[in-house]
Amino acid sequence: MSLHGKRKEIYKYEAPWTVYAMNWSVRPDKRFRLALGSFVEEYNNKVQLVGLEEESSEFICRNTFDHPYPTTKLMWIPDTKGVYPDLLATSGDYLRIWRVSDTETRLECLLNNNKNSDFCAPLTSFDWNEVDPNLLGTSSIDTTCTIWGLETGQVLGRVNLVSGHVKTQLIAHDKEVYDIAFSRAGGGRDMFASVGADGSVRMFDLRHLEHSTIIYEDPQHHPLLRLCWNKQDPNYLATMAMDGMEVVILDVRVPCTPVARLNNHRACVNGIAWAPHSSCHICTAADDHQALIWDIQQMPRAIEDPILAYTAEGEINNVQWASTQPDWIAICYNNCLEILRV
């Protein structure tokens, strides 16, 4: 990544704690806004909303609010036109939907599946459906995935305008489910996949939940931690195993056989992000301090080397490619957020 040119290519923000969860806002009027979640091994954690002041080239913390336990994931509503309320979702012990205003962030609703018990099985991840922002899916260590329906009403004073209900809950895996992601295939509303501790990638269709398709199983049955759909070609997805140094690219039309393996990292991979604007570029980030961008155009021929490499000052634990600004990637390591122009 060239660090020259008229404008800065890297902007850095230092949080008061280790950063783990991170996500770009997609609202057109909030270009360089990100949400960051703390990773503190105790009950009291934080979420910060930060924005880049383009005049001063500095990140400013706009808002900090408390969050019980570290956020396993956070995500802004995928509303690129700005027609919905400005919402942020977080997962941890529960799925929470927050409403963000210029002055404060307030909890709109807390979605809890176990109405009849105080016990909650922690949520490992979730995804917010881009085609229908009233749908979210959560994955849990209790082997289930839950699809939630949201209702966003009109603003009436201080009344919470967002509520949610369980649309469907299914046992998705034999063990803990670690990630869930909606696919853009078939209209982008009904198909989703999940990965988990049983080492499998499974695909579901909300219209036919009586069966799922196993797309891939890790040969050593290592748990699979992350899954990420190609943003432009819904046939491809990427996944990675716990403590694994490679990212596996799968083609749903050819189940069980990876079409590519990206294995230049020298320590375990923690994050995967597909380019929003190109079907053949993907970024991987790992404990070896490296964020690597790959061109997978020549699949199924082996992909030997990344086309770009960036070395951070610490183990990178998350990477996010800005969907509305495809020339920017965000990474976080230690207590730092960096955005890089690619």
DSSP annotation of 266 reads S
Instruction: Look at residue 186 and give its three-state secondary structure.
Output: helix
CA dihedral 79, 47, 124, 257 (to 10 degrees): 60
pLDDT the model gives residue 165 = 84
Amino acid at 35: A
Averages of pLDDT over runs of 10 residues in the chain (342 residues) are 58 96 94 96 96 90 96 96 92 95 91 70 95 94 93 59 84 94 93 97 92 94 97 96 96 93 96 96 97 92 92 97 94 97 92
Burial class (CB in 10 A: 0-12, 13-18, 19+), 107: middle
Tokens of 320: 């996010």
The answer to whether residues 15 and 22 touch, using CB atoms and an 8 Å cutoff, is no
Prior bond of 300 cis (ω within 30°): yes
Cα–Cα distance for residue pair 110/97, rounded to 1 Å: 7
pLDDT the model gives residue 4 = 43
pLDDT the model gives residue 159 = 56
Residue 82: name the closest of 140, 141, 33 by CA.
33
Residue 89: name the closest of 52, 39, 137 by CA.
137
Looking only at Cα atoms, what is the longest distance across the chain? 59
pLDDT the model gives residue 163 = 81
Name, in order, each residue with C-beta under 8 angstroms of 189's C-beta and a sequence gap of 6 or more: 129, 131, 132, 135, 182, 206
